[in-house]
Amino acid sequence: MKILIPKSNRLLKIVLAISVVLILVNCSNFDEPSVKKSLSKPKAAGNIYFSISGTDSIFYLDADDRSFKSLPITLHQMWDFDISQDGNWLLVAQGSQMDRYNLLKLRHDYSRTLKFQPRGRISCNKDGRVIIYETEYHATRRLAVLYIETGDNFVLNSANNGAAYAPLIAFSGQEYAWTQYDGLYYGRLNQTQPVRIANQPVEPEDFSPSGLYLTADGKIFDLRAFSQYPGKQGGRLRFIDDYFLVQQKPTDSDSLQKINISGTERTFLFRTGQPIIDFRIADGQRFVVSVSAAADAETLFFFIYDFVDLQKEFSLSFPTGRQTKLKKLIWPVRPSSLTQHD
């Protein structure tokens, strides 16, 4: 005798079978959170800009085709350069002026001859409109600000009108940090009274993306309370986001690790074999580049690493042909017409 299964029951069995298969497939894809791999592997991209001593050129490592190039612009007596965090604008202090270039179109945008001439390092804000730089004022090293689109240019207040140097501007363009001989300071462009957040003359290194935290001398400072953030950090620190950083410890080591903001969680990343001179995190918050030098200081070694999948991307050497030093290293996002302004 043939037993007939009602259609509704047969449909239920089919649905249950499919559900079991889906559950088994999903379970096989589970990873431990600490070693979770990306499903679609992105590649390191964009340009890693750098300058070296003894030349007025700006070089870059093209991460897409993995080759070194130099920007096709003529510079004279270059003090320093910076690139806006949106990746669109190159700012160059040279001679007695400040120039801005559109990196998307590689076109000269503004040139300002400054009342307070540049004499050292510069730092610009997220959209390349505000630049803080070192100058000489009454025979003293001070900081000045330039609003490059309007030409407004003036010397900034320092504590007790003392010598100031090593400016670092936050993404917002309103907050900045700097160093004086009696400590590390923090201020806002629209306020007259700076705040000392450390009693030692240490240089600011990196603002967190939100601007709430600042690293300097292996320490993290909470800028809401103007105090040191608790925890065990040390070495040289660069923010990935507001909660995780890449650390070089000690500052002459050949290795990097990822830590949380309190320093209680650590993940070893890589070792280069030579002391790391500097390192930067790509603005996409996935890759880090480190630069080391050969013993004769005539070659720079670039090492690019994916700290999400914990694997090396590639490495390249940049021969300089003479003894030289790395002066600056920047890995901005790609320039985009969506974030361009006139």
Residue 82, domain member (yes or no) = yes
Determine the pLDDT at residue 51: 98
Provide the pLDDT for residue 49: 97
Q: Examine residue 279 and state whether it is found in any structural domain, yes or no.
A: no
- Per-residue pLDDT of 258-284, as tens digits, reads 999 999 999 999 999 999 999 999 976
Q: What is the pLDDT of residue 191?
A: 81
Asked if residue 250 has a cis previous peptide bond (ω within 30° of 0), the answer is yes
In a domain, 45, yes or no: no
Q: Is residue 183 part of a domain?
A: yes
Note down the domain range covering 192. 76-229
Q: For residue 191, what is the domain's CATH number? A: 2.130.10.10
Angstrom distance (rounded) from CA 93 to CA 58: 12
Q: What is the pLDDT of residue 31?
A: 37
- Domain membership of residue 10 (yes or no) is no
* Residue 147 lies inside a defined structural domain of this protein: yes
Domains in the chain, number: 1
| pLDDT, position 285 | 77
The pLDDT of residue 39: 61
pLDDT beneath 50: ranges in the chain: 1-8, 12, 15-16, 20-36
Residue 90 within a domain: yes
Q: What is the 3-state secondary structure (H, E, C) of the chain?
A: CCCCCCHHHHHHHHHHHHHHHHHHHHHHCCCCHHHCCCCCCCCCCCEEEEEECCCCCCEEEECCCCEEEECCCCCCCEEEEEECCCCCEEEEEECCEEEEEECCCCEEEEEEECCCCEEEEEEECCCCCEEEEEEEECCEEEEEEEECCCCEEEECCCHHHCCCEEEEECCCCCEEEEEECCEEEEEECCCCCCEEEECCCCCEEEECCCCCEEEECCEEEECCCCEECCCCCCCEEEECCCCEEEEECCCCCCEEEEEECCCCCEEEEEECCCCEEEEEECCCCCEEEEEEECCCCCEEEEEEEECCCCEEEEEEEEECCCCCCEEEEECCCCCCHHHCCC
Whether residue 113 is contained in a domain is answered as yes
Q: Which of 310, 323, 273, 286 is nearest to 31 (CA)?
A: 310
- Looking at residue 38, its pLDDT comes to 53
At 201-237, the pLDDT tens digits run 999 999 999 999 999 999 999 999 999 999 889 999 9
